Amino acid sequence: MFQNSHHFSIDRSTFIAEHHEHHHAQPSKGMWLSQSPSIMLTYNRWMSIAIKRLLEASSLGALHNSGNRFDPPKCHPNTRKTILQELMDWFIGELGWDNFVLWLYGPAGAGKSAIAQTFAELCAKKNRLLASFFFSRSDSKRNNEGALVATLAYQLWLHIHESRPIVEAAINNNPAIFQLDFDTQYRTLFLNPLLQLSSAGYFTSTTPFPNLIIIDGLDECEGADVQNTILNTISNALQRHRSVLPFRLFIASRPEYHLTTSFSVGPLGSLTFRLPLDDTYKPDEDIRLFLRDSFHDIRNTHIMRTHLPDSWPSEKDIVKLVAKSSGQFIYAATVIRYVSSPRGNPLDRLKVIQGLLPVNDDRPYAQLDALYIDILSDVEDIKTVLQILGVAFVLNNNMDDHMKSLPVSDLEEFMQLTPGTVQLLLIDMLSVVDASDHTKPIKFLHASFSDFLVDPTRSRQFYIDPSKRHEEAAHFCISAIESLNMATSLPRLAYQSLLNHLRLAGPLHNNTTLREKVFKVPYVQHWKQYVLVSWYKGYYSSVGDPAMFLEFLQTSQFMHTEELYLHHQGILDQQLCDSLSLIPKSPSLAFWTAVSAGGIYDQTLLLQTLVLLSPHQHL
């Protein structure tokens, strides 16, 4: 069937293919059909009723060329050339015929729909696109499976004329077909007509015919079970009849756990060509090109173009925007949409994006915020998820924090969670965060996602208050310190990080719970143990200092902070007295006395003295 489907190439986001016009003979309407005008009129009325019902059951807004999807996202010229070529290689069999299913997957906002749209347009120009369906969770006719089969059947009826009497008869023979389950609809309206065409020899021609089915945004269809049903029903049918139905199925979605599983195991595992939309395809280069071209257009077409210098924006500005995009086109597209608006000054609007000017009421990140809110709205245990993300954020975004880049397994221990809990709870957020490797930290796939979370005007009910998350981190640090578990490095790291989180937590004045925990924390008592362990392991210079802890308590916002300070100062004084009383007369005594009497709690000096005077040393 693909004898004439060679010499494909992608050039400037278009492809060229050898193509020959060919018209298949229209099959007979049946021996019973007379040429009588009255019978012919009845037949046509009968058929028109069937098509009317098919159209009513369809979602024409899901088609790649639908008017409802006016100006849909598509690849910017000269971008995504490598991945578009790889898609074409798969379609024409350059990558083998066994993988008749292709799964394009990537994070939210990575540009999957733009690629699917561009590929659909390329194939439609050469009459190779049989059907497409673009799901959308914001459209009631495109966020469920209800109209999927009818829409596919309509496109079959539209693109292969020989299928028309078959599809129309199927509808008239079962008036309730559109109220039946997905599998029945699919077999009746799509699969069986294709099998009948195959039996008639339609697909044996060497002339190219429409044989590509595109389903974009499968993850935006409501319900994981429904998504799996769609996937399994269509792919199983094509696999069962693959020798007589030479079709290719292209599916694009986020890498949700249930979809990843379906594409990895069972029959689909060996039949699917998996195409991850990752750094392999150098998205930063494409995003940079998109930004440069877009800013060039703004300088030449904006109503304020005479006030825009040719040097704007600077290369440094472009580099920062590319970095902020994190390989996801949606951020760059959102920036350009906001900056290019004729309702504002592009110079000022870019400064708003850069944080150099305050945001007014125009909501520059509206599209991006809607995406993040949709993702978070689907999370089951959102309270715990926000706590995990918040603690991970304050740990990873403070350069002075010794717990920066804490692996997932250690984060679970730190937050007193059962091993594996983080991965389970974040399973609905795989498109924006990655916690798949328990030996690595949680990774925010979108740099703009963390910005969204800590901005209450954007994240609203999903706001992560950094001061509150620092307070939670302080609680966890105290619990780890109290454990005095030297088997892991976590208590030592918590000891080093506690003071940092206390300084950034707030407000402290009425926080009686945290004050009580700070009052009881054995920070001074355990210092010797932690400092000795650190000394032996070679990183003593970063150990916490009781003097700094006491200094913080003297000036903190806790209620009765002087009482806190005197409590811990008394513990330190008592420890020093106890140590002095146990030390036999020796040359080291003079040094220790001088240090303590002078009030010098220098970390390195005390450390050296403690090691010198520790019980295992001969004095």
Q: How far is residue 163's CA from residue 159's CA, in Å, rounded to a whole number?
A: 9
Q: Which one is predicted more confidently, 339 or 601?
A: 339
| Residues 245 and 198: beta-carbon distance below 8 Å | yes
Q: How far is residue 69's CA from residue 600's CA, in Å, rounded to a whole number?
A: 72
The answer as to whether 267 is a domain residue is yes
* Percentages (nearest 5) of helix, strand, coil residues in the chain: 60, 5, 35
Q: At which of 244, 277, 310 does a domain end?
A: 277
Look at residue 25 in the predicted model and tell me its pLDDT: 39
Look at residue 26 in the predicted model and tell me its pLDDT: 42
The answer as to whether 366 is a domain residue is no
Percent of the chain, pLDDT > 70? Answer: 82
Q: Which one is predicted more confidently, 301 or 46?
A: 301
Q: What is the DSSP string of 266-307?
A: HHHHHHEEEEE-SGGG-HHHHHHHHHHHHHHHHHHHSTTGGG
Q: What is the DSSP string of 6-64?
A: ---EEETTEEE-------PPPPP--TT----HHHHHHHHHHHHHHHHHHHHHS-GGGST
Look at residue 95 in the predicted model and tell me its pLDDT: 83
Q: Which one is predicted more confidently, 8 or 262?
A: 262
Tell me: the pLDDT tens digits for 157-169?
999 999 999 999 9
| Together in a domain, 58 and 168 | yes
* CA-to-CA dists, residue 196 to 53, 188, 199, 422, 594, angstroms: 22, 11, 5, 51, 100
Q: How far is residue 189's CA from residue 54's CA, in Å, rounded to a whole number?
A: 10
Cα–Cα nearest to 332, from 365, 303, 301, 305: 365
| Together in a domain, 128 and 218 | yes
Lowest-pLDDT choice from 28-42, 69-83, 368-382 = 28-42
User: What average pLDDT does this structure show over 569-590?
Assistant: 71
For residue 83, the 8-state DSSP code is H
The answer as to whether 595 is a domain residue is no
Look at residue 400 in the predicted model and tell me its pLDDT: 60
Look at residue 485 in the predicted model and tell me its pLDDT: 73
Query: Could you tell me the two tokens for 347?
Result: 């110079």
Look at residue 1 in the predicted model and tell me its pLDDT: 40
The answer as to whether 457 is a domain residue is yes
| Residues 368 and 448: beta-carbon distance below 8 Å | yes
Q: At which of 355, 372, 393 does a domain end?
A: 355
What ranges make up the beta strands (E) of 50-191? 101-105, 129-134
| Residues 466 and 386: beta-carbon distance below 8 Å | no
| Together in a domain, 154 and 225 | yes
Look at residue 101 and tell me whether its pLDDT is greater than 90: yes
- Pairing status of strand 248-253 against strand 212-216: parallel
Rounded to the nearest integer, the mean pLDDT of the chain is: 85
| Together in a domain, 77 and 101 | yes
Handedness of CA 228, 230, 231, 237 (dihedral sign): positive
How sure is the predictor about 96, in pLDDT bands with cuts at 50, 70 and 90? Answer: confident
Q: Which one is predicted more confidently, 205 or 390?
A: 390
| Together in a domain, 297 and 246 | no
| Together in a domain, 267 and 289 | no
Q: Which amino acid is at 518?
A: V
Look at residue 597 in the predicted model and tell me its pLDDT: 52
Look at residue 533 in the predicted model and tell me its pLDDT: 59
Look at residue 581 and tell me whether its pLDDT is greater than 90: no
The answer as to whether 430 is a domain residue is yes
Q: How far is residue 155's CA from residue 596's CA, in Å, rounded to a whole number?
A: 87
| Together in a domain, 443 and 547 | no
Lowest-pLDDT choice from 228-242, 350-364, 477-491, 595-609 = 595-609
Look at residue 509 in the predicted model and tell me its pLDDT: 87
| Together in a domain, 189 and 93 | yes
Domain that holds residue 534: 469-579
Percent of the chain, pLDDT > 90? Answer: 62
| Together in a domain, 541 and 455 | no
How sure is the predictor about 293, in pLDDT bands with cuts at 50, 70 and 90? Answer: very high
Q: Which one is predicted more confidently, 610 or 534?
A: 534
Lowest-pLDDT choice from 133-147, 372-386, 575-589 = 575-589
User: What average pLDDT does this structure show over 459-488?
Assistant: 90
Exposed / middle / buried, residue 415 (Cβ in 10 Å: 0-12, 13-18, 19+):
buried
CATH code assigned at 224: 3.40.50.300
Look at residue 567 in the predicted model and tell me its pLDDT: 92
User: What average pLDDT does this structure show over 395-408?
Assistant: 78
What pTM did the predictor assign?
0.81
| Together in a domain, 242 and 343 | no
Look at residue 585 in the predicted model and tell me its pLDDT: 54
User: What average pLDDT does this structure show over 254-272?
Assistant: 89
How sure is the predictor about 540, in pLDDT bands with cuts at 50, 70 and 90? Answer: very low
The answer as to whether 313 is a domain residue is yes
Look at residue 590 in the predicted model and tell me its pLDDT: 55
Q: At which of 215, 248, 277 does a domain end?
A: 277
| Residues 469 and 393: beta-carbon distance below 8 Å | yes
Tell me: the pLDDT tens digits for 502-512?
999 988 988 99
Look at residue 316 and tell me whether its pLDDT is greater than 80: yes
Give the helix ranges, DSSP H, for 326-454: 329-339, 346-353, 366-377, 382-396, 408-414, 421-425, 447-453
Q: Which one is predicted more confidently, 507 or 81?
A: 81
Look at residue 56 in the predicted model and tell me its pLDDT: 95
| Together in a domain, 486 and 527 | yes
Q: Which amino acid is at 270?
A: S
Look at residue 339 and tell me whether its pLDDT is greater than 90: yes
How sure is the predictor about 592, in pLDDT bands with cuts at 50, 70 and 90? Answer: low
* CA-to-CA dists, residue 613 to 237, 314, 365, 525, 605, angstroms: 79, 61, 61, 17, 12
User: What average pLDDT does this structure show over 323-350?
Assistant: 95
| Residues 111 and 275: beta-carbon distance below 8 Å | no
Look at residue 47 in the predicted model and tell me its pLDDT: 66
Q: Report the domain count for the chain.
A: 4
* CA-to-CA dists, residue 524 to 210, 547, 568, angstroms: 76, 9, 7
How sure is the predictor about 103, in pLDDT bands with cuts at 50, 70 and 90? Answer: very high
Count Cα neighbours of 207 within 13 Å in the Cβ-side half-sphere: 8
| Together in a domain, 480 and 453 | no
Look at residue 589 in the predicted model and tell me its pLDDT: 55
The answer as to whether 586 is a domain residue is no
The answer as to whether 303 is a domain residue is yes
Look at residue 599 and tell me whether its pLDDT is greater than 70: no
